[in-house]
Amino acid sequence: MATFDNARQTGVFDGTGRVVVVTGGTKGIGRGIAEGFLAAGAEVVVCGRTEVAEERLPTAMDTTATERRAVFVSADLRDADQAASVIAAAVDRFGRLDTLVNNAGGSPQADAAVASPRFSASIVALNLLAPLYCSQAANAVMQAQGEGGTIVNIASVSGLRPSPGTAAYGAAKAGLINLTQSLAIEWAPKVRVNCLSAGLVATEAADDHYGGPEGMAAVAATVPLGRFGTPADMAGLCLFLASPLAGYVTGANLVAHGGGERPAFLTAVERISD
């Protein structure tokens, strides 16, 4: 698994003096993203609904082998005022905001035929409206800064293909991809807005969902690259999108899925041939 011990030596992103907010940055993909920016030298603020002990927050070692830790803000991002409070807390503490990564999201399995209106509204609010609320607050700060800023929305391949069992989630992620394109036009040239659509990523949640190592291995075998992505993989792409190397990239959807899903017809043909 890739690490970011030498992130500043990669030349992709020097986060010295930069301030980054990563929503949902205490676990899974978000934690990996937060650790990537910390290792690159940035000040990082993470948030979540559940308070996290300081010793469990994302950390990384800088070039002097000093441990650096993210700052935590408690918030339910489905509430616009609380979403704005996360951005305000980052600016109050560090005086600026350079990058927002809208990572918070997700959904449990649910049969669309019987999912309650409250459930569906909550899933859409977390995966679509929360990124909008955070982005609105971040944009207000970034437009007033000389260098502007960058926003990266973490979407999913579920927004690009059918998402049976998580229909509301897939629809919300599709909306997030479209929202990215619209905001990129409205907020240019000061603020670049891009999207990262993640495929299968190895996290504790994925391990539980696919039934442990054996299930994970079986699913990984369906990916052309032969493995799940890692939080560090996603972090590297966020670093790129926030860096000067992506200075002419806005309104884009970067799909990171290891080559996608093997077409079902190929498997069917192979079975017939056998």
Active-site pick, 120, 173, 197, 243: 173
Active site residue 158: no
DSSP assignment string, 9-40: GSSS---TT-EEEEETTTSHHHHHHHHHHHHT
Q: Which of 245, 153, 246 is nearest to 195 (CA)?
A: 153
What pLDDT does 9 receive? 38
pTM of the predicted structure, to 2 decimals: 0.91
- Counting Cβ atoms within 10 Å, is residue 3 exposed (0-12), middle (13-18) or buried (19+)? middle
What lies within 8 Å, CB to CB, of 89 at 6+ separation is 45, 71, 73
Active site residue 120: no
In eight-state DSSP terms, residue 193 is E
- Could you tell me where the beta strands, DSSP code E, fall in the chain? 19-23, 43-48, 59-61, 67-69, 71-74, 99-102, 149-156, 191-198, 253-256
For the chain, residues with pLDDT lower than 50 are 1-10
What pLDDT does 204 receive? 82
Q: How many CA atoms lie within 13 A of 199 on its CB side?
A: 20
What lies within 8 Å, CB to CB, of 185 at 6+ separation is 251
Active-site pick, 27, 85, 107, 169: 169
What pLDDT does 2 receive? 42
Q: For the chain, what is the radius of gyration of the CA atoms?
A: 19
DSSP assignment string, 120-137: HHHHHIIIIIHHHHHHHH
Beta-bridge mates of residue 152 = 101, 194
What pLDDT does 18 receive? 97
Q: Which of 7, 37, 3 is nearest to 22 (CA)?
A: 37
What SS3 class is residue 188? coil
Active-site pick, 156, 158, 163, 243: 156
What pLDDT does 274 receive? 65
The rounded distance, in Å, linking the Cα atoms of 263 and 139 is: 40
Active site residue 169: yes
The dihedrals phi and psi of 153, each to the nearest 5 degrees, come to -95, 125
Tokens of 117: 């209106």
Q: Which of 19, 192, 16, 187 is nearest to 91 (CA)?
A: 19
Q: Are 220 and 228 in contact (CB under 8 A)?
A: yes
Condensed to tens digits (0 to 9), the pLDDT of residues 162-182 reads 999 999 999 999 999 999 999
The rounded distance, in Å, linking the Cα atoms of 94 and 45 is: 10
What pLDDT does 12 receive? 64
